[in-house]
Structure 1
């Protein structure tokens, strides 16, 4: 499949699925498969794993590969599959991205390396080497709030010119001027995905391709419906759904993602609520807020264990 063909498929709500664990902290691959099936049946337009919501820094390299492999099988070609393959370690990023290509992923999402705060030249060389190591579409993941460095638009433009398989970016960036300049500089056929929940609708309005939103873990049908409404030309409905989701979006980020998301999924009967240290689940007060909010959204009325 050509890069242009992939770009046509990568649209809408790509759900960044959490990594479920058992009560003793082992990866729960059976529940992962069930979550992915539920996501697709609920209308999600694509699946991603081992991104921020998937706790990649708590997984071993082999666990990340196995999560990606199991997820690819569970998706079964029904929607695009875009695993996150980035790491602070350059060699690991190359290895995981090549693995994603080997198993037949539709694209790979590669985060700006965190903690080390590379220069723009360092970022350019890192992403260029990753892109040139595979014949696979690449989405860059820019999340300055977590990485402490922002991929500047000028650096992105250099990368897109040098590596045609860099086809898009997930911008978890509250600087809306910046995300406007991405499309204004790189071109409006470039795939711009929102990773900031309250900017998912606004990014569609400026020409974005969709979102990769943690809220899709909890309410996949509603997040997908907002995108469907926009692409069908029903602006009023898309706006209404944007505001309808606002309370849930805010609540799920009161504490560090994916703690509140996993607490919500636990209350819904979808997973065993567990995060690996140093992350922690919400305490009783926030958990009760999550429970009452889920009730208001009607998300506990259908709470059953995935089977």
Structure 2
């Protein structure tokens, strides 16, 4: 079995996309990050991701992104896979960070569709193929058109999956459910499809998805992991009930731009100092109160 076949087996379930905590001086708080990772592993998260959208990568320097990746890999200590986000709007930075992830011992790299530049499909193909060819670790592409203003088309993804043996999956933060169905049709049923849309975590499992990379896992890692556990155990009714139980929490955590509500919630729970770096800022006082009441209703406060 190749390393990529092994990755297809172990990179399933809830890959928790952890926030990047800052201290009062707005420095990366590595000690708190280590505690968060321990909590996630103890709570049943199947893998860890850092420096994805929830981890505020565009607010971090390259050196800080490397620090967060290294901290996460050391803290996990092989207990669960670690999949850092290594993508950027800058091609050279993406190459550098993906190579560094491999050097640090990451289990895979999560590489986002470049944001702001709006490349065409051929340029996207060349970008991802160059990145994949530069390393020997598995690559999971991250398609989030709502943030990048560009949608990686299924035909482009299928071409990459065919031409690059280490491109093994995609995180689809894509509300077009027809699109995500066609991913598995054209890329193959063994291609790893993860939901990055909270309300689609359960439906994606039903069509053959490999799991979810859900921001909500930051506040209730056990429940988000259990959604996958119930489904794979054949306990469909439990999975469906949990899907609907999580819906109000999912909703409130996305009433402002992620990760602002999420960090506010974690601050209320005593897990982090809930600060964000500008240009991100805290939610309104009204939304903060709504978050507080929602957390109370879930027994999280």
TM-score calculated relative to the size of structure 1 = 0.97
Question: 1:86 and 2:87 equivalent?
Answer: yes
Deviations 1:202-229 (A, max 9, x none): 0000000000000000110110111110
CA distance in 1, matches of 2:44, 2:238: 17
Question: Matched residue of 1:275: which SS?
Answer: coil
Question: Matched residue of 1:271: which SS?
Answer: coil
Alignment of 1:75-224 (within 5 A): 75-224=76-225
Question: 1:27 and 2:28 equivalent?
Answer: yes
Question: Matched residue of 2:276: which SS?
Answer: coil
Partner of 2:263: 262
Partner of 1:10: 11
Question: 1:237 and 2:238 equivalent?
Answer: yes
Partner of 2:273: 272
CA distance in 1, matches of 2:202, 2:86: 26
Deviation at 1:18, TM superposition (A): 0.2
CA distance in 2, matches of 1:289, 1:154: 42
Alignment of 1:272-291 (within 5 A): 272-291=273-292
In the alignment, structure 1 segments of 5+ residues that lack a partner are 301-307
CA distance in 2, matches of 1:80, 1:261: 23
CA distance in 2, matches of 1:252, 1:79: 26
Deviates more, 1:45-54 or 1:19-28: 19-28
Equivalences, count: 300
Question: Matched residue of 2:142: which SS?
Answer: strand
Consecutive aligned runs of 4 or more in structure 1 exceeding 4 Å deviation: none
CA distance in 2, matches of 1:147, 1:91: 18
Question: Matched residue of 1:141: which SS?
Answer: strand
Alignment of 1:56-71 (within 5 A): 56-71=57-72
Deviates more, 1:152-161 or 1:125-134: 152-161
